[in-house]
Structure 1
Amino acid sequence: MTSPTEDTARVFIVDDHALFRRGVRAELEGPAARGVTVVGEAGSVGEAIAGIGHYRPDVVLLDVHMPDGGGAAVLARTRTEYPDVVFLALSVSDAAEDVISVIRAGARGYVTKTISGRDLADAVVRVKAGDPVFSPRLAGFVLDAFADRPGAAPPVDPEVDQLTRRERDVLRLLARGYAYKEIAAELVISVKTVETHVSSVLRKTQSSNRHELSRWASDRRLV
């Protein structure tokens, strides 16, 4: 285990799989990893919030998907209270929406679980120093989402962020003129589920009909 010094990055691991947490800890405490020390770990959102408050780590390695809310929930409940803590997403997912949502929530970087122990330690040191860090193919998602150019998503839009991933999928297709049956076939869900998502989107966007929804989506460059 790396001996803590002033320059050592103190790391807290958040993942709901205990076996994976042990593997990450072993990698970061191994001889190939330098400049980091693991101070604690958590397997749920509640444990993560308590652990971050207790240990005050420099860097939190944060899983994106967990049964009780995932990385975004941890960020929402700790970012303001602990502004000096830096979050680095570590996930099996390389989906663009996962990357963009967690960066919008406040993570400083995003790497996938295929990363080597040495590269992960390097990523931790870099985000602690203030650098954004992404696995190679993921950086393009962030550039596309945050760039100020036609077709790009707005940098931060709480109204969009309140929609679930599936609700955004339904909204995009609806705004493109798809019928409910076509949306259901495209997303491999039932028409009833489509209707439920549309009702939720109408309520969240305070729209009263399909035309208003389409205009709402177009104004936010979702289509």
Structure 2
Amino acid sequence: MTTPERTVPRSRVRVVLVDDHRMFRSGVRAEIGELVDIVGEAPDVDSAVTVIRETRPAVVLLDVHLPGGNGNGGVDVLHGARGLETEDGQPVRFLALSVSDAAEDVIAVIRAGARGYVTKTINATDLVHAIRRVSDGDAVFSPRLAGFVLDAFGAAAGEIAEVDEELDRLSAREREVMRLIARGYQYKEVAKELFISVKTVETHVSSVLRKLQLSSRHELTAWAMGRRLL
């Protein structure tokens, strides 16, 4: 009689979660905590680098826009944790998880060493699948974002899209607010999406209009469309 083969269960991936919103981190932990091992959390660049160095996870779920460091958010974390390995001798790998779907954000973190980039609209099942794939060394992107990477890395070496001087006047948070407003989001919807107050949204919108010398939401939408930022 032949003894049936035993299926060896897959070990749970060790994950560090880096995001500056505590409620979002709690939500991710609640959604996927039974399927992966979340071994650490961090709300900013400096504490993220420390936690990653201490825990050596297989995958770091990394927000793009974070306080601290040199002001470059997730890119600073990638630079600070460069070259780290897990206890098994595998490289610590990074999967960006962000509300931003801007080409410049995607390209920046991939150039800095991230293995993938997904947006916060992803569901829990797909997120766990993405984490496991990145842990195995695969590259993972939300469908729309893969094109940004192909365009950027398919170009001649050293070719980088010219930065729009007007867009460069805006902070990372102002860019997030600008894109959502231009897409037709109401202030309350923007506040919910970015985990900030309606008053903060109003402040950012006023700042964006002033910096871009625009006078209305309609002009802002036209400006964003003209730069293919939606």
Q: Cα RMSD over matched residues?
A: 2.8
Quick one: which amino acid aligns to residue 26 of structure 2? R
Other-structure match for 1:170: 165
Partner residue of 1:130?
A: 137
Aligned to 1:27: 31
Please name the residue that 1:217 is paired with. none
**Residue aligning to 1:188:** 212
Within a 5 Å distance, the mapping from 1:48-63 to structure 2 comes to 48-63=48-63
TM superposition shift of 1:6: 6.9
Name which of 61, 75, 78 aligns with 2:81. 78
What displacement does 1:75 show?
Answer: 0.4
Contact 2:56 2:84 in 1 (8 A): no
Q: What is aligned with 1:107?
A: 114
**Structure 1 equivalent of residue 219 of structure 2:** none
With over 3 angstroms needed to count, the CA separation of the structure-2 counterparts of 1:153 and 1:111, relative to structure 1, is: farther
| Structure 2 Cα separation of the partners of residues 73 and 153 of structure 1 | 25
Cα deviation per residue 1:17-52 (whole Å; 9 max; x = unaligned)?
00001011111124xxx3x21111001111101100
SS at match of 2:96: strand
**Partners in 1 of 2:45 and 2:10 — Cα distance?**
28
- C-alpha change, 1:20 and 1:171, in structure 2 (3 Å) is closer
Asked whether the 8 Å contact 2:83–2:91 carries over to 1, the reply is no
Alpha-carbon distance in 2 for matches of 1:153, 1:64: 26
Could you report, residue by residue, the CA deviation over 1:73-132 in whole angstroms, capped at 9, with x for unpaired residues? 000111124471000000000000100010000000000000001110110000001110
Matched, 1:43 2:40: no
Distance in 1 between the 2:54 and 2:94 partners?
16
- Fraction of identical pairs, as percent: 58
Report the residue type matching 1:73 in the other structure.
D
Q: How does 1:133-152 map to 2 (within 5 A)?
A: 133-147=140-154, 152=155
In 2, are the aligned partners of 1:59 and 1:124 still within 8 Å (CA)?
Answer: yes
The TM-score with structure 1 as length reference comes to: 0.64
TM value normalised by structure 2: 0.62
Measured at CA, do residues 81 and 129 of structure 1 come closer, stay the same or move farther in structure 2, by a change above 3 Å? closer
2:103 to 83, 96, 101: 96
SS at match of 2:78: helix
Question: Once superposed, which parts of structure 1, at least 4 consecutive aligned residues long, lie more than 3 Å away?
Answer: none
Distance 2:135 2:54 in 1: 19
Looking at structure 2, the residues matched to 81 and 171 of structure 1 have their Cα atoms a distance apart, in angstroms, of 37
SS at 1:94's partner residue? coil
Of the three residues 15, 19, 37, the one matched with 1:15 is: 19
**Equivalent pair of 1:88/1:110 in contact (CA under 8 Å):** yes
Q: Within 1, Cα distance between the matches of 2:61 and 2:83?
A: 18
| Structure 1 residue matching 2:65: 3-state secondary structure | coil
Unpaired segments ≥5 residues, structure 1: 173-184, 190-223
Change (3 A) 1:114 1:153: farther
Cα distance in 1 for residues equivalent to 2:37 and 2:65: 24
In structure 2, give the amino acid aligned to 1:126: R
